[in-house]
Amino acid sequence: MNAYKKYITITDPKQVILSDLPFQAGQRVEIIILAEENPRASISKKLRDLFEQTQSLPGVQDITEAEIAAEIEAYRRGE
């Protein structure tokens, strides 16, 4: 089986038009449509979900900016 890959952007979700294909008139072909994965969007969503989960933990809202800065400095000093 020969495979042919072509990337298009959907402009009308009711129809897809393929043109300039390397097949003969009357040749039977199998069409498989796969949506392109966007890894950045997936990672971004996972990170946002993690932030929401972290911020909803009990006691997190009580931490001050000064405490966060002190914790970062202690970490940088190797403590």
pTM of the model: 0.42
Q: What is the pLDDT of residue 39?
A: 83
Residue 42: helix, strand or coil by DSSP? helix
Place of tokens 């405490």: 67
Domain boundaries, the chain: 39-76
Q: What pLDDT, in 10s, does the model give residues 36-68?
A: 888 888 899 999 999 999 989 988 888 899 999
Rg (CA), the chain: 26
* CA–CA gap between residue 12 and residue 33 (Å, rounded): 15
SS3 content of the chain, % helix, strand, coil (to 5): 40, 0, 60
Counting residues of the chain whose pLDDT is more than 70, the rounded percentage is 100
